[in-house]
Amino acid sequence: MDKKSRDMNFELLRIISMILIISSHYIIHSGILDTLSIFTFNYFFIDFIRALSRISVGLYVLITGYYMVKSKIKVKKLFNTWTIVLFYSLIMCLISILLKEHVGIKGIIKSFMPISSGLYWFATVYVALYTLAPFINILVNRISKNQYKILLIILFLYLVIDKTIFTGNNYIDARNGESFIWFVFLYLVAGYIRLYLKMQFNKKLLIGITIIIPFVIVILRFLSIIYFDKSLLSLFNFSNILNFTSLISFFLYFRELKIKNAKINNIIGKIAPLTFGIYLIHDNAFFKYFIWIKLFKVSEFANNPYLFLHFVFTVLTVFVICGIIELIRTKIWQLFDKTKIVKKVNKMLDQINEKFWSIMEEKNDN
């Protein structure tokens, strides 16, 4: 598979991942779970989408690990990520205040420090992962293939098997996959796939596993509620073995996928870079409830026969509108790139980057 085609495969995966993330937020931020009538078509539909969307965040991390394991971090990219997060944090905070959403003094302070305060949990963990990626890569490059396997097996036992069986064990990963240690694990998994997993897989089998597992989760939850009066919400954890299996299967499917149509590749290449901005706009801590509860009134469709159509319309509308906003932002920022102050900042960042890597590439004489 050539590099350009491969890149578009993963860029398409990035787009699909964001659609799944929006789908997940449609469910968990809207209050629809509190109003759904149990064991109706809408109930099973929402349960399936909830299960399917659990792989969304992990896909982003796998893509990052797949490329970063053979790359060097760029201080300029890290700075740009920070500025984008800060920009949307402040803008969405201001909009939320104008819409009379509850923000508060504490919320305003958090908006000025979105990464440090965890205002966007994914951005916080992602920046931490990106910053430490060079050190992770040093480890990866200094251990053998077999040592790498053992490392992954140990992490798999602690983070997947143990958390699947003993869901209340929070001493290693307290957030069931929404954590730095989980991101590091997925980074290492993706790195191993990139460096050592050369075998090809049956694409039909991979996509089949990805689709079947959410059905299995829905069925298991149904049977558990009927016979044991237990909802088994732990099946929705990122680190549950079923979701982990689905995640890896879907990722490998896209690694095998070939997109040969130049026009489609061009469209994908224009949309994929917008996805991070789409996330920052629609999942702002102070704005997201306005979107799902006040604007689209999701919970009011909980037992409506048109829930499916409302779901599709809402998810795509959020994706498109936020994508347009992010596109406008990128065009405006391109104008600022030509200014003297931005050129000076970029030059300074390049110097810091060069100094950083000169240190990172130093040889240990001991």
pLDDT in tens, 114-168: 999 999 999 999 999 999 999 999 999 999 999 999 999 999 999 999 999 998 8
Q: What is the pLDDT of residue 364?
A: 60
Determine contact, residues 96/283, Cβ cutoff 8 Å: no
- The mean predicted confidence, pLDDT, of the chain is 93
Q: What is the pLDDT of residue 365?
A: 54
pTM assigned to the model? 0.94
Determine contact, residues 71/36, Cβ cutoff 8 Å: no
Q: What is the pLDDT of residue 5?
A: 44
List, in order, residues 6 or more apart from 298 with CB less than 8 Å away.
Answer: 26, 30, 31, 32, 292, 310, 314
Query: Where is average pLDDT lowest: 25-34, 104-113, 170-179?
Result: 170-179
pLDDT at 355 over 80: yes
pLDDT in tens, 196-232: 999 889 999 999 999 999 999 999 999 999 999 999 9
Q: Work out the average pLDDT over 347-360.
A: 91
pLDDT in tens, 76-96: 999 999 999 999 999 999 999
Q: Work out the average pLDDT over 237-262.
A: 94
Q: Work out the average pLDDT over 321-328.
A: 98
Joined tokens for residue 126: 């992602």
Domain boundaries defined on the chain: 3-360
Q: Work out the average pLDDT over 333-352.
A: 90
Q: What is the pLDDT of residue 1?
A: 42
Q: What is the pLDDT of residue 3?
A: 46
Residues 316-326 as b/e (b if ≥16 CB within 10 A, e otherwise) read eebbeebbebb
Q: Scanning the structure block, which residue is given the tokens 């996509």?
A: 207
Q: What is the pLDDT of residue 7?
A: 84
Q: Work out the average pLDDT over 292-310.
A: 97
